[in-house]
Amino acid sequence: MTSALNAILVIVLVMNLFALGTSRIQAAIRIVAGQGALLGVLPLLAHEHLHLAQIFIAVVTVAIKGLVIPAIMMRALRDAQIKREVEPLIGLLPSILLGAMATVFAILLAGQLPLAPQHAGALLVPASVATVLAGFILLTTRFKALNQVLGYLVLENGIFIFGMLLLEAMPLVVEMGVLLDLVVGIFVICIIVNHINRAFASLDTRRLVSLKE
Amino acid sequence: MVWGLVLFPLAVAAIAAALPSNRLRPWLLPVAGVGHAALSACVLARSLAVAAREAVGARPPESDAWLALDPPGRIVLLQISVLFLLCSFYTVGYLQYRQERSNRVFCVCMLTFLSVMSLVISSRQLGVMWVAIEFSTLVTAPLIFYNHTQRSIEATWKYLLVGSVGIAMALLGTFFLAYSSLHVGLESTLSYEELLRQAPQLSKPWLHAAFVLLLVGYGTKMGLAPMHTWKPDAYGEAPGVVGAMLAGGVTNCAFLAVLRVYHICSAAGENAYTSRLLLLMGLLSMATAGLFMVGQRDIKRMLAYSSVEHMGILVLGLGIGGATALFGTLFHVLTNGMTKGVLFLSVGNIHRAFASKSTDQVSGAMRRVPLSGALFLAGFLAITGSPPFGPFISEFSILNGAFNAGRFVIGGAFLLLLLIVFIGMGATVLHAAQGRPPEETGAPETRSAYRDGFLTGAPIVVFMLLVLMLGLYIPAPLNALLHDAVRFLEGKP
């Protein structure tokens, strides 16, 4: 089980780098959606005893992260009529390198962390840290509103990976609540993105500078 | 009964969504406000009766319940229930001026917001509490966006992005907290009671990391410096009544979350560690607020910085610890919330009367809108800790706690920062409230037909009377609630 789990996590880590390296927003949405859907399958692998509740959670997670959220974002993208992030704060290649450095750092860090013995072999903790960091890189170096939303989603995916360690502590209600928050959050954010686009004729958040001291 | 606090406003929200009349819909808010206040009063009276009978008021409620009130939660419940009740009547008056725009989203969001805040207060499960706090961010975003101007779009965007990322950190912190019990071989859990019971055995490194992340995460929602950047923008662009609900509701709920985490750490014997961080954040927030308040020309942004300052005071009080300071902190939750009601609602009226919120145009508010102007001035005196108002008592208790604990440097810095804020805020407030209105000086002005009305005036008067009452005398039941909460936090049943 652990090897299958680790294989998926490696793919997730590679997807982080792809998301950092693409300038086409549509492609980035697809990558992040794929990452989310892949993570949705994890609960089935992380535990030997499968309950109906876990299968239910996995199905809902895959549906929401893989289908609903990308659909909402694609719609916002179509309304905004833009295709790519033209000039990020740092170039695409440097962001990939930064992402790779973050991954290495995460693996080194996880080696230092005091982990419970049953988690020492799995990649869960380093993958979680690396994905959270990748999310932060996306959030801070991109200026298009939709790309920043993608950064938030990657960040959330990273936290979701850490949640795999704690499946017993998370009641079904909480898991569903977190997913509901995510969907409603993306929905509200995309409405605001749409308004930004109409009011400023651009999705560039650098135009949002009228409020300051 | 506790479920009713969550479900009743939600039911009213459903009615508000279905009701077609734009004129009648706002009246559903007072309906929900009165109902919620009545339910809260029942719940609080019953818990006091139980406490008196068993003489163990500090005992936590049974752990199998999903929703139950703990002693600090009761205080926040009292605060938001009164806040919403008074704000709901004001909202009716406010929305009468905004008949040109549909208020369906506004009303539904306000009502859902009340329900979500009740859920934060009564949840016994840190995961549920997180979900509720995140949801409160989402339902308040449309409220900030209500004016649909470019500036309000910008404010909402920043609010959503900073708030969501901050709150995501809190989720990671919540996971770390659960892992700290898993790591030492205990059954991992997110239940508040379970964690309190396990606290002494929790894995220390994970607990420390969890505390930092949770303080940063929920501190973002509270608006502690340096995570406060969304606050001036959001409070500046939101309608006054929304500002009051944010500054007295959301921030206090987020503070309750910090308080619960603090409680777990304190039960684990980590007071020295948490206290350092809390004191640092508290003083930093107060200093930041003081810095930006001096020379502030926008009266709504000034109130936002005042909120940053008072959130700083709350965590400072926690950081000092001890019975006196904790009493002051919990009391400050009440007094600050009520005074923020006075300030935001009166500034909302002044904004309407002058069609501006910059002191370039706003001056002589006492002449143009005498009631709002006078209340604004009185609210300023109250919030800066002048006797005989409530915040004086709570801030004095915190200061007393600092000196009792021998923390003279902290106490001195606290006093100095209060003074700076008083001077900075005073210059702006006095300019806005006193002096001569623009029509007398012949300065260019933007006219507006607004004058104080009953619905937009009376709730502020009631707020002000409550603030005054809290300063002069604390009713016995409230005193019992506060002391229960202090005993609960100190772990002495």
**CB nearest A208 (choices: B145, B154, B236):** B154
Task: Supply the mean pLDDT for chain B.
Answer: 90
Which of B142, B105, B71, B44 is CA-nearest to residue B493?
B71
| CB contacts, 8 Å: A192 with chain B | 141, 145, 153, 156-157, 160
Predicted local distance difference test score (pLDDT) of residue B256: 96
Q: What is the mean pLDDT of residues A41-53?
A: 77
Interface probe, candidates A166, A182, A187, chain B, greatest B C-beta count within 10 A:
A166
Contact B171 A173 (CB under 8 A): no
Query: Which of A156, A174, A213 has its CB closest to that of B168?
Result: A156
CA distance to partner chain A, nearest, from residue B469 (Å): 36
Model confidence at B398, pLDDT cuts 50, 70, 90, reads: very high
Share of chain A above pLDDT 90, in %: 47
pLDDT at position B337 over 70: yes
What's the whole-number mean pLDDT along residues B222-236? 92
User: How much is the pLDDT for B245?
Assistant: 94
- pLDDT (tens digit per residue) in B20-33: 888 899 999 999 99
Closest approach of A126 to chain B, Cα-based (Å): 14
pLDDT surpasses 80 at A154:
yes
Environment class of residue B47 by beta-carbon count within 10 Å: exposed (0-12), middle (13-18) or buried (19+)? buried
Q: Which residues of A touch B189 (CB under 8 A)?
A: 169
Q: Is B34 helix (H, G, I), strand (E, B) or coil?
A: helix
Which residue of A177, A181, A210 is in closest CB contact with B154?
A210
Tell me, yes or no, whether A171 lies in a domain.
Answer: yes
CA-nearest residue of chain B to A185? B138
Cβ distance of A152 and B161 shorter than 8 Å: yes
Q: Answer whether A136's CB lies under 8 Å from A155's CB.
A: yes
Q: Is residue A213 part of a domain?
A: no
pLDDT score, position B420: 93
Complex prediction ipTM: 0.94
What's the length of chain B?
493
Contacts of B458 (CB under 8 A, 6+ apart): B89
Residue A212 lies in a domain: no
Tell me the nearest-neighbour CA distance from B317 into chain A, angstroms: 29
Residues facing residue A204 across a β-bridge: A144
The CA distance from B118 to B7, in Å, is 9
Can you give the pLDDT at residue A48?
66
> What does the pLDDT read at residue B447?
62
Q: How far is B223 from chain A (nearest CA, A)?
A: 16
Question: How many other C-beta atoms are found inside a 10 Å radius of the C-beta of residue B436?
Answer: 13
Question: Over the stretch B110-134, which tens digit does the pLDDT of each residue have?
Answer: 999 999 999 999 998 899 999 999 9
Residues 277..306 of B with a Cβ closer than 8 Å to A: which?
A: 292
Mean predicted lDDT score pLDDT of chain A = 88
Per-residue pLDDT averaged across B78-107, rounded? Answer: 92
Domain containing A66 equals 2-207
Q: How confident is the model at residue B64, as a pLDDT?
A: 58
Q: Which residues 117-146 in chain B show a CB within 8 A of chain A? A: 125, 127-128, 130-131, 134-135, 137-138, 141-142, 145
Select the residue of B160, B175, B232 nearest A189 (Cβ to Cβ): B160
Q: Is A202 exposed, middle or buried (0-12, 13-18, 19+ CB in 10 A)?
A: middle
Contact B190, B174 (CB under 8 A): yes
| Mean pLDDT, residues B89-94 | 94
**The pLDDT of residue B421:** 93
Nearest chain A residue to B140, by CA = A188
Closest CB from B131, B187, B292 relative to A181: B131
- Among A52-66, A188-202, B62-76, the range scoring the smallest mean pLDDT is B62-76
Q: How far apart are CA B259 and CA B270, in angstroms?
A: 14
pLDDT at B324: 93
Q: How far is B189 from B201, CA to CA, in rounded Å?
A: 14
> Which has the higher per-residue pLDDT, B17 or A213?
B17
B157: chain A residues, CB-CB within 8 Å = 145, 192, 196, 205, 208
pLDDT band at A86 (very low <50, low <70, confident <90, very high): low
A76 assigned to some structural domain: yes
Confidence bin at B58 (pLDDT 50/70/90)? very low
What digits encode the pLDDT tens for the residues B461-476?
999 999 999 999 899 9
The count of domains in chain A is 1
Determine whether the interchain pair B154/A211 forms a contact, defined as Cβ–Cβ distance below 8 Å: yes
Q: For testing the chain A interface, which of B165, B189, B293, B357 should be mutated: the one with the most A CBs within 10 Å?
A: B165
- Give residues with Cβ within 8 angstroms of B348, minimum separation 6: B94, B239, B240, B241, B243, B244, B456
Residue B201: which H helix or E strand, with range?
none
- Whether residue A185 is contained in a domain is answered as yes
Structure tokens at B44: 């609080």
Is residue B453 within 8 angstroms of chain A, CB to CB? no
User: CA-to-CA distance for B47 and B61, rounded, in angstroms?
Assistant: 10
Residues, chain A: 213
Determine the distance in angstroms separating the CA of B313 from the nearest CA of chain A, rounded to an integer: 23
Instruction: Specify the 3-state DSSP secondary structure of B298.
Output: strand
pLDDT score for B442: 62
Listed residue (B214, B392, B252, B425) closest to B330, CA to CA: B252
**What whole-number distance in Å separates Cα of residue B181 and Cα of residue B171?**
16
List the domain boundaries for chain B.
Answer: 2-490
Q: How confident is the model at residue B342 (pLDDT cuts 50, 70, 90)?
A: very high
Q: Which residue has the tokens 């909302």?
A: B348
Contacts with B465 (C-beta within 8 Å, 6 or more apart), sequence order: none
Residue A176 lies in a domain: yes
- Contacts of residue A200 in chain B, CB cutoff 8 Å? 150, 153
Q: Residue B313: pLDDT band by 50, 70, 90 thresholds?
A: very high
pLDDT digits (tens, 9 = 90+) for B163-200: 999 999 999 999 999 999 888 888 878 888 888 888 89
pLDDT digits (tens, 9 = 90+) for B368-391: 888 999 999 999 999 999 888 999
What pLDDT is attached to residue B57? 44
**Which of A89-98, A185-194, B208-217, B295-304 shows the highest mean pLDDT?**
B208-217
Rounded to two decimals, the pTM is: 0.94
- The burial class, CB within 10 Å (0-12 / 13-18 / 19+), for B176 is buried
